Amino acid sequence: MSKATRDVLIVVLLVWSGFAYPWFDKGCDIAEAYTAVIEYGVPEGLEPLPACYG
C-alpha cells in the first residue's frame, strides 16, 4: 500500500469517526454509530434516532 493511499484511508477513517461520534453520544453503541453514518448521515438536533432503537 502506498503512503498516499494509507494517508487517504486514515483521513477517511477520521472523518467517519467524527460523523459517528454524535450517534455514539446519543446512545448508540460503536457498531450502530458507524452504521448509522452510512444509513442516516449525521444526527441533527433532537430528531428521533432510528438507528439506536431496538
Which residue, chain included where needed, has cell 460503536? 30
Tens-digit pLDDT profile for the chain (54 aa)? 899 999 999 999 999 999 888 888 878 888 888 988 888 887 776 566 666 764
Answer yes or no: pTM beyond 0.85.
no
Quick one: pLDDT at residue 32? 86
Quick one: pLDDT at residue 49? 63
And the C-alpha cell for 53?
432503537
Query: Do residues 16 and 34 make contact, with C-beta atoms less than 8 angstroms apart?
Result: yes
Question: What is the DSSP code string of 1-54?
Answer: --HHHHHHHHHHHHHHHHHHHHHHHTT--HHHHHHHHHHH-S--TT---GGG--
